[in-house]
Amino acid sequence: MTTRVLVKPVEGRLVRIPGTYEVLPADGKELEMNSYWIRKEAAGDVVLPNDQPAGQAPTPKGEKQ
């Protein structure tokens, strides 16, 4: 089973989708998660849905903050 996530480019960045070389739309596109997108996130080119604001850890399900 493959994991698909909504990948959005950071404002002002032009990011191409590997294989098709089409430009990633500004509102994002649901794509298969792979090492390419992990590297692009680490480089600051894209935003993935699991990103949290700096300094905040995700709240485990069922616990209140």
Q: Express each pLDDT in 50-62 by its tens digit.
A: 654 444 444 455 5
Q: Express each pLDDT in 16-49 by its tens digit.
A: 999 999 999 999 999 999 999 999 999 999 998 7
Number of neighbours of residue 65 by Cβ within 10 angstroms: 6
Q: Where are the alpha helices (DSSP H) in the chain?
A: 35-42
The answer to whether the beta carbons of residues 31 and 5 sit under 8 Å apart is: yes
* Confidence (pLDDT) at 2: 79
- According to DSSP, residue 38 is labeled H
Residues ≥6 apart with Cβ < 8 Å to 43? none
- According to DSSP, residue 36 is labeled H
* Confidence (pLDDT) at 6: 94
